[in-house]
Amino acid sequence: MSGDHHDDALLSRQVRRLETLLEEKGLVGRDTVDEVIDGFLAGASPVNGAKVVARAWTDPAYKARLLENGAAAVAELGFDAGGVQPQRLRVVENTESVHNVIVCTLCSCYPLRLLGPSPGWYKSEAYRSRVVRDPRGVLAEFGVTLDDGVRVTVWDSSAETRYMVLPRRPAGTGGMGEGELVGVVSRNGLIGTGLV
Ligand code: FE
């Protein structure tokens, strides 16, 4: 963990130095970088992912399109999975026999615009290394215990491909409409460190 903080501090210093240089040379205005970042993240929140899940739970044809081509299906609802460049979004469905978890073992790739900024633990060295070696151990720490028969699949994100988990619709939600179902879905459920 301390290695991570060290790397973050080093990276922050390098970014600040680069910003200062660009400003000194008149290449970008003082507020340009902040404006670009604010614009990029405007409206980015796990609620977007929850809306996608609620639609998939209530509309089987939408769910099929979502699993086939995630980026196109979230765009139908006005959401963007990508970053600065277009990215593939692969939506992985939890079932009775498979539970999916996402990680970026290399750094911290995450569908930012669909799920908002990633939680701190997602970027931690501890999560990134351990969830691959011992997914059940890590899930237990998040309070998720799965039956022995359930296979855990860990998906490693990259610059080109981002992932989102489609959680199982909980029992007892049969009477809920799409709007109400949005409130059932948590950010951890969309990463796979929660059941829903
Ligand atoms: Fe990454």
Which residue in 70, 46, 59 sits closest to 196, CA to CA?
A: 46
Q: Is 107 known to be catalytic?
A: yes
Q: Which of 108, 124, 158, 186 is catalytic?
A: 108
Contacts of 132 (CB under 8 A, 6+ apart): 103, 105, 154, 156
Give the tens place of pLDDT for each residue, 3-25. Answer: 445 666 777 788 888 888 888 88
Query: Running DSSP on this structure, what letter comes out for residue 168?
Result: P
User: Cα(first)–Cα(last) distance of the chain, in Å?
Assistant: 28
Give the tens place of pLDDT for each residue, 130-149. Answer: 999 999 999 999 999 999 99
Q: Is 97 known to be catalytic?
A: no
**Domain boundaries defined on the chain:** 1-42, 44-191
For the entire predicted model, the pTM comes to 0.83
Q: Which fold does the domain 44-191 belong to in CATH?
A: Nitrile Hydratase; Chain A (3.90.330)
Which residue in 125, 179, 163 sits closest to 5, CA to CA?
A: 125
Q: Which of 2, 45, 107, 157 is catalytic?
A: 107
> Do 145 and 92 form a contact (C-beta atoms < 8 A)?
no
Which residue in 28, 21, 19, 54 sits closest to 173, CA to CA?
A: 54
Ligand 1: centre distance to CA 110 (Å): 7
